[in-house]
A and B are shown apart, each in its own frame.
Chain A
């Protein structure tokens, strides 16, 4: 089975006014929206700019808005949106500056992520048991040591929560849900008092947790169940506790 679908694609270049192009593509029944975008590129317009890499919700590069809502098109089926002949509107994320077509400038976002300092691997919190052998000490079996399993952080830095965030829309200087969530994760991990103080300072900044209007759009739209809104609330409790010596 194949699906015929029309994409109403946002087109933009810095020296041109934005417009929408209509692309008719045919994709397999089980195709995800990213496959349809790639077909539009392959069959219709090789100048179409879009970001993609892993196609399984790991890299976070492909995030766009489909019919106005932020999604990772690599894991959302085309079928979900089919409604007669109605086209799917594909647009870039909001609250980022535009580079071209679906591509936005993520530099500012990654600078904030870097400021949070969150390392993307951590010992697992999974309930599976067992301890593997680590071989990274070299090939000598006598040197192996026992370490716990590790995992990548759930956040894939896709930028969806920034796009959906009304506070971000009001001020792009806001530290933003993903990076605040990263601060909370990092605070959870680190015991170094100086580092903790520095992280709390970032959260307590005028562009930090107090700007959040608690719209909870971040938690609502996050494809990875990171729950940034809850993290922001946890950071507020931490700041209170530090200032007044109560709570967590």
Chain B
């Protein structure tokens, strides 16, 4: 039997990591992406390499995935990470009361955490609000979202994968009740063509519902927008988080010479060109300044909003949706054969998501091949252009 061909739709973090995983397992892989690599949710990212601290009390499943993947990414892609750790700080009595729960949560999720003296925290981060009551250090980090994806794709390409950006899926091709490929519009040439596939992976994140609909299937993806404000100065080495249940504007992620304050959370109906309410921005900047008063002095560089592809659960507020991920084999849910949707998750857990969906892909194709991405270092993103 010839090597099966898998067509991955979407070159965000999930699609890129999946291309790498499947190429390493020896499959024929093609990735199609409607625009530039990482031009959807992954690009407009907070750039936070999660330690899991943010979710260790309320969403331990998501937190454990984060710390496991965090430690793996440090090994396989150190060249696209700033690894300076993070601080969770208590600003008021309520935060301080949360500290024991927070430390217990970190321990339960095996997130290395240590409390440091307030005086020491202020010495390390002199622009922190001097009134903080406690500080806990965790292994947060920062990644470059575009280079994160391109590193996976460069490695996939080296292992034989074909990557086509500016190629948009217009429709899926049915053969009876099974999907046999996709109709692609190539923006570069203006031509439409068909690409045959033994299996399709829908890695379109917040857009997954739209692609699933082409397969006459349904996925419980809830596009949940978040707004971030970029300040054109850097005042902290480490990621600064507020030590409480995730709220609006409770984190300042430094990247290069910029600080990104985030983030809010609201449900949107469609993920393209999201409108940003000014009150969301104001509220967030105000909350960010509670953590670091000096942010007042920074110039606003830009505001961006994008939809996270969270998996909806009934009767749960969008902020509280789990950050875990899920692979859906539509055939097993009574839908068309030949397409798997992977959604939920975070960029931090993209490799883990890729492993999960690749396992499902191999099982569906009857292939026995082990995942090797945990220990395979990625090549430089620059080699994507060789």
The answer to whether A and B belong to the same complex is yes
A-side residues, CB < 8 A to B, are 13-15, 28, 30, 32, 38-39, 42-43, 46-47, 49-61, 74-75, 99-100, 103, 106-111, 113-114, 119-121, 124, 126, 128-136, 138-139, 141, 144, 149-154, 156, 224
Q: Within the assembled complex, what's the spacing in Å between the Cα atoms of A56 and B237? A: 18
Question: B64-122: which have CB < 8 Å to A?
Answer: 71, 74-75, 78-85, 110, 112, 114
| 4 nearest A-B residue pairs (beta carbon) | A53-B43, A130-B124, A59-B146, A56-B230
Q: Is B17 an interface residue (CB 8 A)?
A: no
With a cutoff of 8 Å between Cβ atoms, the chain A residues found around residue B145 in the complex are 53-54, 58-59
Q: Which of B35, B74, B85, B304 contacts A55 (CB 8 A)?
A: B304
Tell me the smallest distance from the CB of B24 to a CB of chain A, in Å.
22
Q: Within the assembled complex, what's the spacing in Å between the Cα atoms of A154 and B303? A: 20
Is B237 within 8 A of A135, CB to CB? no
Is B83 within 8 A of A74, CB to CB? no
With a cutoff of 8 Å between Cβ atoms, the chain B residues found around residue A149 in the complex are 84, 237-238
With a cutoff of 8 Å between Cβ atoms, the chain A residues found around residue B1 in the complex are none
Question: B267-310: which have CB < 8 Å to A?
Answer: 272-273, 275-276, 278, 281, 300-304
Is B44 within 8 A of A54, CB to CB? yes
B-side residues, CB < 8 A to A, are 35-39, 42-45, 47, 71, 74-75, 78-85, 110, 112, 114, 123-126, 137, 139, 144-147, 166, 168, 187-190, 228, 230, 232, 234, 236-238, 255-258, 260, 272-273, 275-276, 278, 281, 300-304, 380, 382-386
- Counting chain A CB atoms within 10 Å of each CB, the highest count among B42, B189, B256, B257 belongs to B256
Q: Name the residue of chain B whose CB is nearest to the CB of A116.
A: B382
With a cutoff of 8 Å between Cβ atoms, the chain B residues found around residue A13 in the complex are 188-190
Q: Within the assembled complex, what's the spacing in Å between the Cα atoms of A124 and B125? A: 14
Jot down 17 A-B pairs with beta carbons below 8 A, ordered by A.
A14-B188, A28-B278, A53-B36, A53-B44, A55-B44, A57-B302, A59-B43, A60-B146, A114-B383, A120-B147, A128-B236, A128-B237, A132-B238, A136-B78, A141-B114, A149-B84, A154-B256
Known: A59-B38, A128-B125. A152 touches B83 (CB 8 A): no
With a cutoff of 8 Å between Cβ atoms, the chain B residues found around residue A153 in the complex are 256
Q: Within the assembled complex, what's the spacing in Å between the Cα atoms of A101 and B340? A: 33
Known: A51-B36, A57-B230. A124 touches B302 (CB 8 A): no
Tell me the smallest distance from the CB of B96 to a CB of chain A, in Å.
23
Q: Which of B71, B126, B190, B256 contacts A128 (CB 8 A)?
A: B126
Is B382 within 8 A of A56, CB to CB? no
Q: Within the assembled complex, what's the spacing in Å between the Cα atoms of A235 and B171? A: 54
Given pairs A38-B273, A58-B255, A61-B146, 14 additional interface contacts (CB within 8 A): A43-B273, A50-B36, A51-B39, A53-B36, A54-B44, A55-B302, A57-B230, A57-B258, A60-B146, A99-B188, A111-B382, A121-B82, A126-B237, A135-B71
Q: Which of A54, A113, A135 contacts B43 (CB 8 A)?
A: A54
With a cutoff of 8 Å between Cβ atoms, the chain B residues found around residue A134 in the complex are 83, 85
Q: Within the assembled complex, what's the spacing in Å between the Cα atoms of A121 and B35? A: 27
Is B85 within 8 A of A54, CB to CB? no
Is A54 within 8 A of B82, CB to CB? no
Q: Within the assembled complex, what's the spacing in Å between the Cα atoms of A42 and B84? A: 38
Q: Within the assembled complex, what's the spacing in Å between the Cα atoms of A107 and B83? A: 28
Q: Name the residue of chain A whose CB is nearest to the CB of B237.
A: A149
- Counting chain B CB atoms within 10 Å of each CB, the highest count among A28, A39, A47, A59 belongs to A59
With a cutoff of 8 Å between Cβ atoms, the chain B residues found around residue A108 in the complex are 385
With a cutoff of 8 Å between Cβ atoms, the chain B residues found around residue A99 in the complex are 166, 188
With a cutoff of 8 Å between Cβ atoms, the chain A residues found around residue B304 in the complex are 54-56
Q: Within the assembled complex, what's the spacing in Å between the Cα atoms of A224 and B301? A: 12
Known: A49-B166, A100-B166, A150-B84. A107 touches B79 (CB 8 A): no
Is A139 within 8 A of B112, CB to CB? yes
Q: Within the assembled complex, what's the spacing in Å between the Cα atoms of A57 and B75? A: 26
Tell me the smallest distance from the CB of A11 to a CB of chain B, in Å.
12
Q: Within the assembled complex, what's the spacing in Å between the Cα atoms of A129 and B121? A: 11
Q: Which of A75, A103, A156 contacts B302 (CB 8 A)?
A: A75
Q: Within the assembled complex, what's the spacing in Å between the Cα atoms of A111 and B385? A: 7
Is B258 within 8 A of A150, CB to CB? no
Is B36 within 8 A of A61, CB to CB? yes
Is A150 within 8 A of B83, CB to CB? yes
Tell me the smallest distance from the CB of A84 to a CB of chain B, in Å.
25
Tell me the smallest distance from the CB of B235 to a CB of chain A, in Å.
8
Q: Name the residue of chain B whose CB is nearest to the CB of A52.
A: B39
Q: Which of B35, B45, B272 contacts A54 (CB 8 A)?
A: B45
Q: Within the assembled complex, what's the spacing in Å between the Cα atoms of A191 and B71? A: 30
Q: Which of B43, B166, B383 contacts A103 (CB 8 A)?
A: B166
Tell me the smallest distance from the CB of B111 to a CB of chain A, in Å.
9
Known: A39-B273, A49-B187, A139-B112. A110 touches B384 (CB 8 A): yes
Q: Within the assembled complex, what's the spacing in Å between the Cα atoms of A59 and B43? A: 8
Is B137 within 8 A of A133, CB to CB? yes
Q: Within the assembled complex, what's the spacing in Å between the Cα atoms of A135 and B124? A: 17
Tell me the smallest distance from the CB of B325 to a CB of chain A, in Å.
21
With a cutoff of 8 Å between Cβ atoms, the chain A residues found around residue B125 in the complex are 128, 130
With a cutoff of 8 Å between Cβ atoms, the chain A residues found around residue B168 in the complex are 46
Known: A133-B114, A152-B255. A53 touches B84 (CB 8 A): no
Q: Name the residue of chain B whose CB is nearest to the CB of A60.
A: B146
Q: Within the assembled complex, what's the spacing in Å between the Cα atoms of A113 and B71? A: 28
Tell me the smallest distance from the CB of B163 to a CB of chain A, in Å.
13
With a cutoff of 8 Å between Cβ atoms, the chain A residues found around residue B146 in the complex are 53-54, 58-61
Is B79 within 8 A of A141, CB to CB? no
Q: Which of B112, B123, B256 contacts A135 (CB 8 A)?
A: B112
